[in-house]
Amino acid sequence: MKKISLALLFPVLVSAAFAGPFEQLRRGLELPAVPGPAFSPEAPGHLQGDGRFWVTVAAQDKYDRSALLNAGLDIVETGRYSVSGFISGGELEQLAAKGFQVKSRQSIQDYARQHLKDFPLNDAAYHNYKETTDLLVKLAGENPAETSLFSIGKTTEGRDIWCLRLNPAEKGETPSARPAAFFMGNHHGREHLSNEVSLALARHLLQNKNAPEIRKFLDTLDIYIAPMTNPDGAEYDIATGKYRWHRKNTRVNADQSIGVDLNRNYDSLWCQAGASHYPGSDTYCGPSAFSEPETRAVRDFVLARPNIKTLMSYHSYSSLLLYPWAGKDSPVENERDRKVFEALAKGMTAYTGYTPQQSSDLYVATGDTTDWAYAARGIFSFTTELEGTTFYPGAAMIEKASAKNVKAALYLLGATDDPYKLSR
């Protein structure tokens, strides 16, 4: 990550007029409490009690990576010969005994001290939960003929998981015989960019609703967009005014640690690989499959709509497009389906430039959204790992990532009427 010099940083901080939810984040930067030789933001007291470490561990291939996931490492970055990510102190102590070579380690407090140096300066452009809700209400209000807005369920803390439906013929929870596409963002709290891309898609479709290429989707498809699947986690991540690198939801576990990894909580080979039974782990799979209200909401939503043909779950970051299986090494058994997955992946990545691959080629991890949706309903389900080199890539990334991912989403919509046309 780039370092921003003081000279560059301060004029921006004092001259800009800030508004929006992330303004507190920058207020923190305006008042550096710890003077030192280098610019040092306030000591990350908001991470007090957070026992995680940021580590880099040698890993040669997907088998090493899968084993590391099993050992509790939350892999964030994948290099040729190593991976980096977060791990709890307890699990870190066991890595060496398990034969892993830890190349570097630092406490999350030190990691934050180092990385908050290049804190994004324009994060007011990102939408917190209230702003996301307000924007969805506004879009629905401005487009009453084409849209409806409803909640697919409540979160652990009682927030609504909002879903915007684009379908002029059927509204709210009325069933539809039209082929449906389901887009989701923000399963993981700290992946705020995934909320933005989902919102950008909704706006693009509605701003261009009279253009023939968009109108044909509105007139023939049933489109659902739930930008913030884990609003509790997203809010928790920014609640102190500084980022906390929080991935999970906010269930309080038996050991008082916070959160279950929602993308390991689906009932597809639940917690058999690439997930941790240890509550403090960032990849904690939860006490049982579908133990969390957020994943149950998605499950019930999908099962109630047999017309869903395609699904996209946005995450960040790695510039990847992933498809089943995530939970096993072998490819999708049905050859026709496999062809469709590969063709859709190729088609979408032509717009994003991301790398298309079977999920488990990165590492084997069970219990994710896409494996479950494909196994349960035969839905052509994808995970997009958006681009960037950090969970907090700043405002400029919103437009950059949205522009190409909206095009990829339009490609997916273009195949949603009959994905099997790609296998013929």
Give the range of 129-137, 253-261, 311-319, 397-405 binding Zn ion by CB under 5 A: 311-319
Catalytic one of 191, 235, 294, 385: 385
Residue with the closest Cβ to Zn ion? 315
Q: Nearer to Zn ion by C-beta: 39 or 391? A: 391
Q: Nearer to Zn ion by C-beta: 257 or 318? A: 318
User: Applying CB under 5 A, what is the total number of residues that bind Zn ion?
Assistant: 3
Tell me 114's DSSP state. Answer: H
Distance of alpha carbon 157 from its chain centroid, rounded? 19
The whole-angstrom separation of Cα 137 and Cα 149 is 7
- Asked if 188 touches Zn ion (CB under 5 A), the answer is yes
Q: Nearer to Zn ion by C-beta: 191 or 294? A: 191
Minimum CB–partner distance for residue 398 and Zn ion (Å): 17
Q: Which tokens is 239 given?
A: 């609640």
The owner of tokens 């790992």 is 385
- Asked if 246 touches Zn ion (CB under 5 A), the answer is no
Q: Nearer to Zn ion by C-beta: 218 or 262? A: 262
Q: Order across the sheet with 320-323: list the strands.
A: 147-154, 160-166, 222-226, 180-184, 308-316, 380-386, 320-323, 355-358
Minimum CB–partner distance for residue 247 and Zn ion (Å): 7
Give the range of 98-106, 283-291, 312-320, 409-417 binding Zn ion by CB under 5 A: 312-320
Q: Which backbone phi and psi does 377 adopt, to 5 degrees?
A: -135, 5
x/- letters, 313..332, toward Zn ion (CB under 5 A): --x-----------------
Give the range of 189-197, 238-246, 320-328, 398-406 binding Zn ion by CB under 5 A: 189-197
Minimum CB–partner distance for residue 196 and Zn ion (Å): 14
Cβ contact 185:233 at 8 Å? no
Neighbour tally for 103: CB within 10 Å = 13
Biggest CA–CA distance in the chain, Å, is 65
Give the range of 61-69, 154-162, 183-191, 218-226 binding Zn ion by CB under 5 A: 183-191
Cβ contact 283:324 at 8 Å? no
Tell me 57's DSSP state. Answer: E
Neighbour tally for 339: CB within 10 Å = 15
385 is catalytic: yes
Distance of alpha carbon 287 from its chain centroid, rounded? 22
Q: Which tokens is 93 given?
A: 């102590």
- Asked if 248 touches Zn ion (CB under 5 A), the answer is no
- Asked if 190 touches Zn ion (CB under 5 A), the answer is no
Q: Nearer to Zn ion by C-beta: 82 or 369? A: 369
Q: Nearer to Zn ion by C-beta: 159 or 315? A: 315
Strand-pairing partners, residue 54, are: 86, 106
Examine residue 325 and say whether the peptide bond preceding it is cis (omega within 30 degrees of 0): yes
Minimum CB–partner distance for residue 314 and Zn ion (Å): 9
Question: Nearest CA to 226 among 294, 171, 293?
Answer: 294
Give the range of 25-33, 160-168, 182-190, 337-345 binding Zn ion by CB under 5 A: 182-190
Minimum CB–partner distance for residue 229 and Zn ion (Å): 10
Give residues in contact with Zn ion (CB under 5 A).
188, 191, 315
User: Active-site residues: which are they?
Assistant: 385
